[in-house]
Amino acid sequence: MTVGSLYRLRDIGRLRRIASVLARHGFVDVAERVHVMQALRRIGRIFRRRSAAAEVIPWTRRIRLAAEELGPTFVKLGQMLATRPDLVPMPLVLELRRLHDEVPPFPFEDVRATIEAELRRPLAEVFEWVEEDAVAAASIAQVHRARLKTGEEVVIKVQRPRLQEVIGADLRILLLLAQTIEARVPEMRPFRPVAIVEEFRRSLSREMDFSTELSSMQRFAANFADEPMLHVPHGYPQLSTRRVLVMERIEGAKITDRAALDAMGVDVKAVVDLGMRFTLRSIFEHGFFHADPHPGNFFIRPDASIALLDFGMMGSVEPQRLDEMLTWMVGLLTGDLDMMVGLLLDADLIGDETDVRALRGELRGIVDRYQHAALASIDVSALISEVFDVTVRHHVFLPADLLLVGKAMATMEGIGREAWPDFQPLDAIRPYLTEVYLKRMLDAKKHSQVAVRSLVEGATLLKDAPLDIRRVLRKLRRGELQIVHRSADAPAEIRARHARTNRLILAALLPVFFFGGVWLTGSESALHNAAGLVSLGLAWLFFIGLGISMLGDGR
């Protein structure tokens, strides 16, 4: 299968352009390694000479410049990779964070055509007026001020024309490049280029669908309904489609526009603290957060409330992961290494090749250093990237949601410091996280819900247990007999006193035997899952049962 034959004919022009940009930025060798160049040479002899610039400009910078030159797909890809210090070396991460997403606006004719095609009505039927000059133009969309016929002041976010086509072609090319790289450059395989492109494709298509953005906006607003100081623009579902988004216009100043904030008489420090608190709440209480909180998306209104914009890129975290994250962060913030390393082990994030003692040692170094530093001098982003760096080096598997959280927090810190140079993020982070951690750990409702769920699932599964499981259970019953036998040797009064506990300790041993049994019989994964659930249910049973008898004894 040759590379050339796989590209669609209409993608070839674009491929040539990509190749020539790469070559101009000095990446001929890379391209040659993946044999794209032979194919391209045949197509069009584009690599006559290497750019002289390539010799002096660092490779990281050349990658960034090439991405900017190549347009939206590559800019977005670069921005995504900038959030993956587990995949991309730190110098490149830092460089990619500087990617500019500023492009000249597209003409108003296209704006009008898109809106009319999407809403299937003439512009003048819906809007009193639409400002012809865009307020902002980025690679995916641009924003225009407008007023509805009904009098409301709004903005319209309009997607770039032909964006789907351009990005579609780029994505096909990227995927093919990734496949070729994976096949021909073995040292790149651990970075799973194909999986990255697939993940990127998914996140980009979410970002290109404004109806997703609208529903994120609504969900975020509902989560913060109790917070009068955080405002999320009201969206207009009847006037919004995949490519057009109409929402309430926010009047205010950017959080980093010090002069404007001073003119409004706003207390910048209070606003920055507020911003940090919202960010933390959205992550650690709702598990649904703004993954792209740059200063342009934080508007401060005259009453000192914060309006958040741009819900195109959201992060979400499962409750289980939230607990893990909280535990880990509290471990970090309180300098408890056992808590940190233990969690990584429990959550199965540590690979076989990890030297746990060395990892512990390095974490100790970080914790010590910053525990003794003055609060003010602690740079949370640096701390986060240092921790990422250590974990990556020790082959700790970092899930993508966790990386997004790291990014969101680091960005919020950056905004805070930019707006208020004396901002001390840990002042806000440490007590907040400790409080949430305590509340979650000591939340009886949450724990009992988990118990009921696993109990019900466990019981249901057991009822229809396949033969294999029943066989394991039969083995287990022999274990049960043995335990009862042993306890019969104990003095009578203890036996009486612990009669109930014994039965429950049996319940505790059940999952142990059970799991062990299933593993031993070497069943396939469906069974493992079932066993996991049952075992969880039983473990919970034990937890509760043992508790009952312990409380009974104590009284």
Partner 1 sequence: MREGSLFDEALRRGLESYVAEMLRIHVAEGLLARPEIRAALGPQHFERVRAEVLDRLRRSEEEGREARPAVSTAVSDVLSLLSRIAGRPGSGGEGSP
Q: Which long-range contacts (C-beta less than 8 Å, at least 24 apart) are formed by 502-506?
A: 503/545, 504/541, 504/542, 504/545, 504/546, 504/548, 504/549, 505/542, 505/546, 506/480
For the bound state, the minimum distance from the C-beta of residue 64 to ligand ATP, rounded and expressed in Å, comes to 17
Mapped onto helix, strand or coil, the DSSP state of residue 452 is: helix
Say how many C-beta atoms besides its own lie within 10 A of residue 416's C-beta: 25
- What letter represents residue 167's amino acid? I
User: Which of these, 510, 504, 511, 474, lies nearest to 487 by C-alpha position?
Assistant: 504
Distance CA 118, CA 12 (A): 30
- Please tell me what DSSP assigns to residue 25: T
Which residue's CB is nearer to ligand ATP, number 152 or number 248?
248
Among ligand ATP, partner 1, none, the one that 157 touches (CB under a kind-dependent 5 to 8 A) is: ligand ATP
- Choose among partner 1, ligand ATP, none what residue 496 binds, the Cβ cut-off being 5 to 8 Å by kind: none
141 forms beta bridges with 159
Interacting positions 79-118 with ligand ATP (CB under 6 A)? 101
Asked if 141 interacts with ligand ATP (CB under 6 A), we say yes
The partner in contact with residue 368, picked from partner 1, ligand ATP, none with C-beta cut-offs of 5 to 8 angstroms by kind, is: none
Q: Residue 233: which of partner 1, ligand ATP, none does it interact with, CB under 5 to 8 A by kind?
A: ligand ATP
Q: Which is nearer to partner 1, 204 or 363 (CB)?
A: 363
Amino acid type, 65: L
Task: Give me the catalytic one of 292, 310, 323, 401.
Answer: 292
Backbone φ, ψ for residue 418 (5° rounding): -65, -40
Q: Is 430 in the site for partner 1 (CB under 8 A)?
A: yes
140 contributes a contact to ligand ATP by CB under 6 A:
yes
Residues ≥6 apart with Cβ < 8 Å to 207: 76, 140, 213, 312, 313
Give which of ligand ATP, partner 1, none residue 72 binds (C-beta under 5 to 8 Å, depending on kind): none
- C-alpha span between 293 and 505 (Å, rounded): 50
Please report where in the chains the tokens 């674009």 appear, as a residue.
14
- The CB density around residue 209, as the number of other CB atoms within 10 Å, is 16
Q: What is the DSSP letter of 296?
A: G
Rule CB under 8 A: is residue 481 a binding residue for partner 1?
no
Q: Find the binder of partner 1 among 438, 484, 488, 520 (CB under 8 A).
A: 438
Q: 56 vs 481, which CB is nearer to partner 1?
A: 481
Stretch in the footprint of ligand ATP (CB under 6 A) among 26-34, 271-279, 309-317, 421-429:
309-317
158: phi then psi, degrees, rounded to nearest 5: -115, 130
Which of the ranges 86-94, 100-108, 228-236, 502-510 carries the binding residues for partner 1, by CB under 8 A? 502-510
Spatial distance between the Cα atoms of 543 and 514, rounded to a whole number of angstroms: 16
Q: Are 102 and 225 contacting, i.e. CB atoms less than 8 angstroms apart?
A: no
Pick from ligand ATP, partner 1, none: which does 439 bind, CB < 5 to 8 A by kind?
A: partner 1
| Backbone angles phi and psi of 339, in degrees to 5 | -60, -45
Residue nearer to partner 1 on the CB measure, 205 or 521: 521
Q: Among residues 417, 393, 413, which one has the least CA distance to residue 405?
A: 413
* 310 near ligand ATP (CB under 6 A): yes
| 292 assigned to active site | yes
Minimum CB separation of residue 242 from partner 1 in Å reads 40
Q: Which does 456 bind (CB under 5 to 8 A by kind): partner 1, ligand ATP, none?
A: partner 1
- Of 264 and 450, nearer to partner 1 (C-beta) is 450
Is the four-CA dihedral 106, 108, 113, 116 of positive or negative sign?
A: positive
Per CB under 8 A, residues contacting partner 1 are 330, 333-336, 430-431, 434-435, 438-439, 441-445, 447-449, 451-452, 455-456, 458-459, 462-463, 465, 467-468, 470-471, 473-477, 480, 503-504, 507, 510, 537, 541, 543-545, 547-548, 550-551, 554
Per CB under 6 A, residues contacting ligand ATP are 101, 135-136, 138, 140-141, 143, 155, 157, 233, 247-250, 296-297, 309-310, 312
List residues with catalytic annotation: 292
